[in-house]
Amino acid sequence: MPQHSPLDLAEGDPFGPHNLPYGVFTTSDEPQRRRVGVRYGAYVLDVHALAEAAGSAHAAVLSAGTLNPLLAAGRAIWSAVRAELVDALTDPARRVTVEPLLVPLADVALHLPFDVADYVDFYASEHHASNVGQIFRPNGDALTPNWKHLPIGYHGRAGTVVVSGTPVVRPAGQRKAPADAAPTFGPSQRLDIEAELGFVVGTPSTLGEPVPLDAFADHVFGVTLLNDWSARDIQAWEYVPLGPFLGKSFATSVSAWVTPLDALAHARTAPPRRDVPLLPYLDDSAAAEPGGFDIRLEVAINGHVVSRPPFSAMYWTAAQQLAHMTVNGASLRTGDLFASGTISGPRPEERGCLLELTWSGRDPVELPTGKRTFLEDGDEVTITAWAPGPDGVRVGLGEVTGKITGR
Amino acid sequence: MPQHSPLDLAEGDPFGPHNLPYGVFTTSDEPQRRRVGVRYGAYVLDVHALAEAAGSAHAAVLSAGTLNPLLAAGRAIWSAVRAELVDALTDPARRVTVEPLLVPLADVALHLPFDVADYVDFYASEHHASNVGQIFRPNGDALTPNWKHLPIGYHGRAGTVVVSGTPVVRPAGQRKAPADAAPTFGPSQRLDIEAELGFVVGTPSTLGEPVPLDAFADHVFGVTLLNDWSARDIQAWEYVPLGPFLGKSFATSVSAWVTPLDALAHARTAPPRRDVPLLPYLDDSAAAEPGGFDIRLEVAINGHVVSRPPFSAMYWTAAQQLAHMTVNGASLRTGDLFASGTISGPRPEERGCLLELTWSGRDPVELPTGKRTFLEDGDEVTITAWAPGPDGVRVGLGEVTGKITGR
């Protein structure tokens, strides 16, 4: 009986040759040697070793312990490398070369896949912004007057972006309830998640030159899952007038896998209808390709699903965010990461953070491990996602997970 | 008659051996070879060449085309390198070695002195915050309720930090006056400066571990001048609720010279009296060393001085900013840059931005080149500064300059 080959995937495996997300891995025998890999089924393919073995012209951009050289290489190289990988993984004649380069996922450690340059977080779900507005500013309009005219964003801390699996230390800080006379200090009592997607910039741009809507795919390499951990009590006290700072900067987790845009071609979908006319640099009504993505997320706490946020409901697209972020002349660098903002759909069970899911703690979420308003020490949060691929096969986006450590 | 030696400075030269700010330079014959230098009088000393010639144990951290390896080396090495430089520049027996390593400033190009990791901007002048509060929120309190309890800050764009002399392209963007029905798009009509100091982090810290007040000098290497260019019309429309974004992200200029903290020992001064009790992690009342710095800035437009902001008037100190920035467990990286926020003193002629100097355009500034409310294309803004040094000699902080280019 022939041995089972790692190249033979079960039908419908979400990590087949239609997907091929990139990551950085080490093995226990060489823990210092970080290598670029793509996920294939339950294995990691050593893509630099493959490129060397195949005499690929692109081996050099795959030789570092980070994706950055590949990211910097630009779309033509991204496509060429992807075509080489698909060819190697699907050509029966090459099995004997490829099989030894597949390492079981169980035998690898995964690392932050790229060096993050600048990190920007947006606020692109109307449902999320409207819910948060009602909670944080009960006496004002749910949406600020600018919300439907521009994708609101802010810079976050790039140095505390961590890979999935990194423990998250509960942040301490100042908080002050309206009724308190003065702020107090201590561990956050309202530690929350934000289920998001992160977009990874490959090709840089020039200072002073905006990147138009239709150049999105020239600059953006792919997508990560992202959890923008948030301490709501710290955030509420600090954020007026200059925005979130310590309520967010303690950790932002990303998935170990970066799904290339090419793998999401079947997930393209039109964003929701826009309610107000957009200025020309944001007007995507005549775009060649729809700007939204049909990506379905699932948020679980301690293994229990608490929400299923639909990315297709996002009001602002990633292309609009990129165009906005650069319209003032700000330049892009390889490794820039911009996140969607919390993904919340219209329905209560589609909300992407506990602030909304529990309506600021009023309606606890019931878990087998007990009721939750916000996260407790030891809680583990895992966000997974998939998108429609070719021929009804799913494209898996992996997972981003993190466990809360007390302090 | 003996030739004049570049080692012989005029009495009181602000760039003597008591100062020795670090920068990165190239010469026209080797435009690709960036080298670490210190400023000495009107010369740049090639410190790596000196270290090699002297057989210094620290040559390696001076060998890159950026200050980052030196920054990462930590305070003990910073002090040792500085002592070696002072010795070389003041020992008559070493003149013959040192003189050939001095290059006239006029013959060098200066570059961004370090790779910026994260960039954070604070809001630490009570006079500035109070003036801006009155201008932006005329119907509210001038200071937000949190202002005297914590140093308010936000993350800015690290990728658009540029060295002094880099032209600044006027940003375009959305703006909407309250009376307008909808936002319009175009070049900023209210382009402003913010005169600030930037603090450069050398020694990194560990994720999850706060950096206390008294560890400031272990982590911070030195100080730059900084101009946080701001488009007030873009900022006013975008900044609620998540803070400044495109109104600031198009460019932030820093001086080419990083003045080491060691050179500012005589400038230490007590910050203003605090009006409210501070939480312990911010309470510097028992600090061994006063947290303020007596640094006097001068802001000139087209060579005409428009303001003289005193850094000694800042309510929050850089040590408090560092302690606050990390109290939630956020880690520091080598090359992190955090800026003071606009430096404004109590008097009208000490205000550090045009928004305040012209009271939002109501009271134009008179220049020989015409009246200004905000900056016009072709305007050149230069910020200089000095601090008291030993024996009445000044410590020069160099300059940060930039000229506005139209679009």
In this complex, the residue of B144, B155, B185 whose CB is nearest that of residue A156 is: B155
pLDDT digits (tens, 9 = 90+) for A292-311: 999 999 999 999 999 999 99
Q: Residue B161 belongs to what H/E stretch?
A: strand B161-163
Best CA proximity match to A199, nearest among A321, A339, A322: A339
Mean pLDDT of B182-209: 98
Mean pLDDT of B192-213: 98
Contact call for residues B189 and B374 (beta carbons, < 8 A): yes
Annotated binding-site positions of A: 121, 123, 137, 194, 196, 228, 235, 239, 248, 252, 342
A211 CB neighbour count, 10 Å cutoff: 26
Q: Which CATH number fits domain B119-405: 3.30.200.20, 4.10.91.20, 3.30.950.10, 3.90.850.10?
A: 3.90.850.10
Res B348 pLDDT > 50? yes
Taking each helix axis from N to C terminus, what angle separates A47-54 and A75-90, rounded to the nearest 10 degrees?
Answer: 80
Q: Is B366 exposed, middle or buried (0-12, 13-18, 19+ CB in 10 A)?
A: exposed
A117 CB neighbour count, 10 Å cutoff: 21
In this complex, the residue of B152, B173, B239 whose CB is nearest that of residue A328 is: B173
Res B1 pLDDT > 50? no
Res B3: pLDDT? 64
Alpha-carbon separation of residue B116 from A87, A126, A248, B104, B146 (angstroms): 40, 34, 20, 27, 29
- Percent of chain B predicted with pLDDT > 70: 99
Dihedral of the alpha carbons of A71, A77, A83, A84, in degrees to the nearest 10: -90
Res A2 pLDDT > 80? no
pLDDT digits (tens, 9 = 90+) for A173-204: 999 988 999 999 999 999 999 999 999 999 99
Catalytic residue among B48, B128, B219, B324: B128
pLDDT digits (tens, 9 = 90+) for A245-265: 999 999 999 999 999 999 999
d(CA A230, CA A210): 31
User: If you ran DSSP here, which 8-state letter would residue A94 be given?
Assistant: G
d(CA B234, CA B246): 7
Contact A241 B239 (CB under 8 A): yes
Q: Domains of chain A: which residue ranges?
A: 22-111, 119-405
* Cis, bond preceding A241 (omega within 30 deg of 0): yes
Residue from B155, B276, B377 whose CB has the most chain A CBs within 10 Å, to mutate: B155
* Cβ within 8 Å of residue A160, ≥6 positions away: A249, A250, A251, A252, B207, B330, B331
CB contact residues (below 8 A), chain B span 270-289, against chain A: 276-277, 279-281
Active site (annotated) includes residue A128: yes
Asked whether the domain spanning B119-405 has the same topology as the one spanning B22-111, the reply is no
ipTM tops 0.95: yes
Mean pLDDT of B165-183: 95
Taking each helix axis from N to C terminus, what angle separates B75-90 and B47-54, rounded to the nearest 10 degrees?
Answer: 80
pLDDT band (50, 70, 90) for residue A1 = very low
pLDDT digits (tens, 9 = 90+) for A86-121: 999 999 999 999 999 999 999 999 999 999 999 999
Backbone angles phi, psi at B100, to 5 degrees: -70, -10
Mean pLDDT of A268-283: 96
Q: Is the dihedral of CA B127, B129, B130, B131 positive or negative?
A: positive
- Percent of chain A predicted with pLDDT > 90: 96
- Please report, in angstroms and rounded to a whole number, the separation of the first and last CA atoms in chain B: 55
- Which CATH number does B22-111 carry? 2.30.30.230
Task: Give the CA angle between residues B169, B173, B174 to the nearest 5°.
Answer: 160
3-state secondary structure of B389: coil
Res A61: pLDDT? 98
Q: Is B80 exposed, middle or buried (0-12, 13-18, 19+ CB in 10 A)?
A: middle
Res A407: pLDDT? 79
